[in-house]
Amino acid sequence: MLRSNLVFRRIIWIVLDSVGIGAMPDAASFGDPPGADTLGNIARLRGLHLPNMAALGLGNIKPLTGIPAAAAPTGAYGRCTLASPGKDTTTGHWEMVGIHLEKPFPLYPNGFPQDIMEGFERRIGRHSLGNKAASGTEIIQELGTEHMLTGSPIVYTSADSVFQVAAHEEVIPLWELYKICETAREILRGPAEVGRVIARPFVGAPGHFTRTANRHDYAVPPPAGMLLDRLDQRGVNVHSVGKIFDVFLGRGIRESSKTKSNADGMAKTLEAMEASDGGLIFVNLVDFDQQYGHRNDIEGYGAALEQFDAWLPQFQAALRPGDLAIFTADHGCDPTVPGTDHTREYVPLLVSGPKVRAGVDLGLRASLSDIGQTVAANFGASIAYGASFLPQIL
Instruction: List pLDDT tens digits, range 318-334.
Output: 999 999 999 999 999 99
Summarize the confidence of residues 209-237 as an average pLDDT. Answer: 95
Nearby residues of 187 by Cβ (< 8 Å), 6 or more positions away = 116, 119, 120, 123
SS3 346: coil
Summarize the confidence of residues 51-70 as an average pLDDT. Answer: 98
Summarize the confidence of residues 99-117 as an average pLDDT. Answer: 94
Q: Residue 294 pLDDT more than 50? A: yes
Give the pLDDT confidence score for residue 4 in this predicted structure. 53
Q: What is the dihedral of CA 153, 257, 50, 338, to 10 degrees?
A: -20
Compute the distance between CA of residue 194 and CA of residue 181 in angstroms, rounded to an integer.
Answer: 12
- Rounded to two decimals, what is the model's pTM? 0.90
Nearby residues of 104 by Cβ (< 8 Å), 6 or more positions away = 84, 85, 86, 91, 161
Give the pLDDT confidence score for residue 1 in this predicted structure. 46
- Domain covering 10-103+221-393 in this structure, CATH number: 3.40.720.10
Q: Residue 265 pLDDT more than 50? A: yes
Q: Residue 160 pLDDT more than 90? A: no
Tell me whether residue 161 is exposed, middle or buried, using C-beta atoms within 10 angstroms of its C-beta: 0 to 12, 13 to 18, 19 or more. buried
pLDDT digits (tens, 9 = 90+) for 345-373: 999 999 999 999 999 999 999 999 999 99
Angle at which helices 38-45 and 298-318 pack, to 10 degrees?
110
Give the pLDDT confidence score for residue 3 in this predicted structure. 54
Cα Dmax for the chain: 63
Summarize the confidence of residues 203-207 as an average pLDDT. Answer: 96
Q: Where in the chain is the domain with CATH 3.30.70.1250?
A: 114-219
Q: Contact 76/127 with Cβ under 8 angstroms?
A: no
Rg value, the chain, Cα = 21
Mean per-residue pLDDT over the chain, rounded: 96
Q: Residue 46 pLDDT more than 60? A: yes
Q: Where in the chain is the domain with CATH 3.40.720.10?
A: 10-103+221-393
The class level of CATH for 114-219 reads alpha beta
Percent helix, strand, coil in the chain (nearest 5)?
35, 20, 45
